[in-house]
Structure 1
């Protein structure tokens, strides 16, 4: 863990050892708030590409809100064989990225609300 971080502590309480990484981003870059040791090397290789993709997804947020007409978009989720990634786009160029192991049994509503409220 990179110093004390209340959000990371809360997410670890919900996801346990399944928490892989937590990062905040804006247009210019990202800040890693937590990265599990076994994820560090892979993150170093892919972080810039992931950051670029998150910014692009954030730009499309308004389109999705209009398309679904269901209120504000709080997050998107991508589930892969090895991990589940959550993207919380706060604005076009700002947000939070969190990933957990795919087999982590997280309480979805509590997990998502904890992440979303950390951006306020």
Structure 2
């Protein structure tokens, strides 16, 4: 795994307890709501703005699986998806505004909810989370606990 950077270069990834600069303000009730909804199945919750990813919650075992470079790549992916992909998909499919994206993997389910043109919410769940994904994503979308700075 690569080392966590100590330099003054621009940080694309931050963790709530490590970084004072913010891309968004998140009401703490959101984390509590997520934990009430999915319990121990909640792996991570982050907000993204362009190519910056800010983790508000991440389970220790999940954080240990990734290097800082992995998190940097995720931040870049969110930036590209939001800036290029969402608008393109809305035009391509002629089905209205993109409300959420769900990706299922062997060991997890990722839900991305765009909230602004370049920003949104990311939630990672264990694969066996007992939740109706469309309803869960719609409820995330309606949450008014995030203010982008």
TM-score (norm 2): 0.71
The one of 75, 88, 101 equivalent to 2:113 is 88
Question: Does the 8 Å CA contact 1:24/1:30 hold for their aligned counterparts?
Answer: yes
Say if 1:43 and 1:74 are closer, same or farther in 2 by CA, change over 3 A. farther
Count of residue pairs brought into register by the alignment: 119
Comparing 84-93 and 9-18, the one that deviates more: 84-93
By percentage of residues, which structure has more helix? 1
CA distance in 2, matches of 1:75, 1:97: 10
Match of 1:48 in 2: 72
CA distance in 2, matches of 1:101, 1:87: 15
Deviation at 1:44, TM superposition (A): 4.1
CA distance in 1, matches of 2:94, 2:53: 30
Comparing 48-57 and 101-110, the one that deviates more: 101-110
Match of 1:18 in 2: 41
Say if 1:110 and 1:14 are closer, same or farther in 2 by CA, change over 3 A. farther
TM-score (norm 1): 0.86
Question: Does the 8 Å CA contact 1:11/1:114 hold for their aligned counterparts?
Answer: no
Comparing 99-108 and 2-11, the one that deviates more: 2-11
Task: State whether structure 2 residue 54 is matched by structure 1 residue 31.
Answer: yes
Instruction: For structure 1, list consecutive stretches of 5 or more residues without a partner in the other structure.
Output: none
Question: Does the 8 Å CA contact 1:76/1:88 hold for their aligned counterparts?
Answer: yes
Runs of 4+ in 1 over 4 A off after TM superposition: none
CA distance in 2, matches of 1:28, 1:16: 29
Deviation at 1:28, TM superposition (A): 5.0
Instruction: For structure 2, list consecutive stretches of 5 or more residues without a partner in the other structure.
Output: 1-15, 18-26
